[in-house]
Amino acid sequence: MDIQFLGTGAGQPSKARNVSSLALKLLDEINEVWLFDCGEGMQNRILETTIRPRKVSKIFITHLHGDHIFGLPGFLSSRAFQANEEQTDLDIYGPQGIKSFVLTSLRVSGSRLPYRIHFHEFDQDSLGKILETDKFTVYAEELDHTIFCVGYRVMQKDLEGTLDAERLKAAGVPFGPLFGKIKNGQDVVLEDGTEIKAADYISAPRPGKIITILGDTRKANASVRLAVNADVLVHESTYGKGDEKIARNHGHSTNMQAAQVAAEAGAKRLLLNHISARFLSKDISQLKKDAATVFENVHVVKDLEEVEI
């Protein structure tokens, strides 16, 4: 499981940073890629990765500001141009209005898609668990921005323990149906009377990963709730230390506030994105250094950077 950043800048693109978009690559888990926000130009960034648009099965939008959605119609249209590949349906989750934005853009531009889009819109009253599959559950909560904006908590379900086939063989269990029984937790007795206890050969279940991806926000209690015990928290850092007042006025956070959220939530790792173009590279190291005084495991991400979870 990896996160690849397709745009890490705030508000407008700069030479170094495109506007907001990231890909949660779940290829090993479910052979799918989920996108979070689609700022303009994100499809050009995708061209520089190994991500195949057809693998993108779900898109989650945090809010309707242009720097988070203007890349969506373009991406959806390009995704259709894979004529020799199977056309697979797509789910879009986001605030009320996202459906009208997408359908209007497609209609007035005369774009026809050879696949279906299923829209899942929500408002203040319909948040909470927005998706559950056999492997993942996704929750959304309202953050504190200048328009309705949400954060997402993606929870992988616990992974079953695995069977230690080598040790079973060594214990004299013939390969075949007995393996299946033991895998299902059943104790078995071998022909020579040896008792095999399934629990001795199955590793303990592993806890699933928790990934928290927030939209634009002031420091908010909802952010902390979404990030409780997260393996990774992706938090905006539009401003730096000392800019708390201006951050508040514009509906954003500083690096210090993001670090406080990570610390309060007991997250394991903090990735800062939505970085203002005002910051030069020496400022970026300062952003990290300052945040690290509050939460040590912090990193300011770059476009195209890939982070393993």
Which residues are part of the catalytic machinery? Answer: 67
Query: What minimum distance in Å lies between the beta carbon of 150 and Zn ion?
Result: 12
Assigned token pair, 267: 């997250």
Assigned token pair, 83: 């004529």
Query: What minimum distance in Å lies between the beta carbon of 261 and Zn ion?
Result: 17
Q: Is 250 among the annotated ligand-binding positions?
A: no
Q: What are phi and psi of 73, to 5 degrees?
A: -60, -40
How far lies 211's CA from each of 182, 187, 201, in Å? 33, 36, 30
Burial class (CB in 10 A: 0-12, 13-18, 19+), 15: exposed
Q: Is 274 among the annotated ligand-binding positions?
A: yes
Q: Is 2 among the annotated ligand-binding positions?
A: no
* Closest-CA residue to 209 (of 186, 188, 233): 233
Number of residues that bind Zn ion (CB under 5 A): 2
Residue closer to Zn ion, measured from CB, 153 or 252? 252
Segment contacting Zn ion (CB under 5 A): 91-99, 166-174, 210-218, 235-243? 210-218
216 binds Zn ion (CB under 5 A): yes
65 binds Zn ion (CB under 5 A): yes
Q: Is 67 among the annotated ligand-binding positions?
A: yes
Which amino acid, 161? G
Residue closer to Zn ion, measured from CB, 18 or 156? 18
CA distance 290 to 284: 10
Query: What minimum distance in Å lies between the beta carbon of 116 and Zn ion?
Result: 29
CA distance 279 to 287: 9
Residue closer to Zn ion, measured from CB, 63 or 209? 63
Residue closer to Zn ion, measured from CB, 216 or 243? 216
Which amino acid, 73? P
Q: Is 120 among the annotated ligand-binding positions?
A: no
As annotated, the binding site for Zn(2+) includes 63, 65, 67-68, 145, 216, 274
The contact set with Zn ion (CB under 5 A) reads: 65, 216
